[in-house]
Structure 1
Amino acid sequence: MREIIFDTETTGLDSRDDRVIELGGVELVNRFPTGKTFHHYINPQGRAINAEAQAVHGISAADLQGKPTFAEIAEEWLKFTDGAKLIAHNATFDIGFLNVELGRLGHPPVDNGVVVDTLALARRKHPMGPNSLDALCRRYGIDNTRRTKHGALLDSELLAEVYIELIGGKQAALILDNAGGAAQGGENVRQIEIVIPERPAPLLPRLSEAERAAHAAMVATLGEKALWLKLNPQEPADATAAQS
C-alpha cells in the first residue's frame, strides 16, 4: 500500500484567487517511510502574498523569484502521487487548492476516495482536542522543535509520524511480496520487528487487597469441581488464606 503524506503553503486562504507557493510530500509504503520525497517552492505568477499567511509560513515574494510555476511542476507531482492515497491535515484546504491549480491546467480534480484527512482522524480519536499538528506532536512525543514556521516538507514529515500513531502506532507487521521467490504459497514473507521499550515503572495494581480477599472468599464457596479452580489451581490456597 502506497501513501503520500503532503502539505501546501499558499498566498492566502481563498483557493479561487490565491495560489500554492510550496508543495511537499513524503512517501510511505505499507506505513513505513521509503525516503522518497517531493518538494518545490512555486512562483505564484504575480499573486501577492497575504501578510497573515506570510507570518505563518515565512515565505516572501523575494523567496519565490526564479522558482518554477505550478504548471512546470504539475506533471512531476502527478507522477509522484499516481496510484497512492493522499494524506493531509485539514485535507479539504490542501485538496481545494490543488484542485484549482490542476483545473487551470486542464487536469481532473483529485478523487475524494483516495484522500484521508488526519484532522478528522484526530478529532474522532481525541474528541476533546486540541488536534493541531503541534498539539498532536506533543501528545505523541514527536520532536517538532525545528518547526518555528510552517513548511510543506517539514510538516509532511511530522504528519507522517503523527499519522502512524493515529492509526495504531509502529506495530510489527508482515509484508508479503508476490514478486519474489516462493516462501509460503508462492509469496515471500519478511518479518519487520519493532522494538517496544519497557515501561519505566510498572502500573499500579487495579485491585485492592480487600477486593482480592473478597474474591478468594467467593471462590472458596464454589466447591472442588468449580471450573474456576480448574483454570486457576492456586485459588484454593488463596481462598484458605483469605478465610483464616
Structure 2
Amino acid sequence: MEKKKLVNDKIPRKKKKRHKVWNIETLITISTFTFILLAWFVLTELEFVSSLIMPSPATVLQSFQEVITTGYKGNSLWVHILDSMTRLLTGYFLAAVLGILLGLASGYNRKIRAVFDPIVEFYQSLPPLAYYTVLIIWFGIGDLSKVVLLFLAAFAPMFIASMSGVKNVKTEYIQGAYNLGANKWQTFFYIIFPASLPYIFTGLRTSMVASYGTLVAAEMVAGVSGLGWMVIDASRFMRSDIIFMGLIVMGIISIILDRLLRFAEGKIVPWKGKD
C-alpha cells in the first residue's frame, strides 16, 4: 500500500483549467464603450453641443422609459420591435433557405449556375431603395413589399457565399470520396456540404447585415410602424432623444442577432479556422 501511495504521489496531476471571465479583449471593449459614454456625458453636460443635435444620456434614458411605459404614436416599443423583427426574419428565413439551396446547386452544376448567377449579379449591384419603388407599385405599401425587399437584399450574399463554398472544396476530398466508392449524392452530402458550411455561415451573417440595414431604410421610406419608422418620424419633430434611443435599440438588436449566428456557427462548424 505504501508503494502505491508513493507511485501515486510521483504521478503529476493535471491542473484544472480555469476559464477566464474577463480577457484583455473584453476589457478593451468595455473600456472603449465607457470612454464613449463619458465623452458623450461631458460634451452634453458642459453644453459644448446643442441638445437638439446631441441629447444627454439622461435625456435619452428618460425617453426610453417614456416609450417603454406609454409607447410612441399609439404603439409600445415592443410592438415596434416585434413589427420590425417579423418583417426581418420572414424575408431573411426565406432568403436563407432558397439562397443556400440554389447556391449549393449552382456551385455543383454549371447549367443551374448559368440560370441564376447572371440574375443575381445583375440585381445585387442595384441599391435596394432604387427598386423598392417598383415593389411598392407591385405589392403595395404594406408589409409584403418590405418582406420581398428584405428577401432580395439577403438572397444575393447568401447565394454567392453558398456557391463559393462548393466551388472552393478541395478536389482531393472529392476524388478521395469517389475512390472509396461514393456516388455523386453521397459525395455531395458527406463531403461538399460539410466543407461548404463555413462559407454558408459567412453568408448568413452577411445577409443579416444587408437585410437589417435594408429593413430600417424600408421602414423610413414607407412605413407606419417599426424602429426605422419611429426614428424617421421623430426626426420630423426634432425629437433627437427619440432618434438616439431608437438608434441604440437597433444597434443592440443587431449585436444580439450577430452573436446568435456566431454561437450557432461555433456549435455547428467547430472546425472553422483550424485547418
The TM tier, using the shorter chain, reads under 0.3
Higher Rg of the two aligned structures: 1
Q: Which of the two has greater strand per residue?
A: 1
Q: Which of the two has greater helix per residue?
A: 2
Q: Which has the higher contact order (CA 8 A, sep 6+)?
A: 2
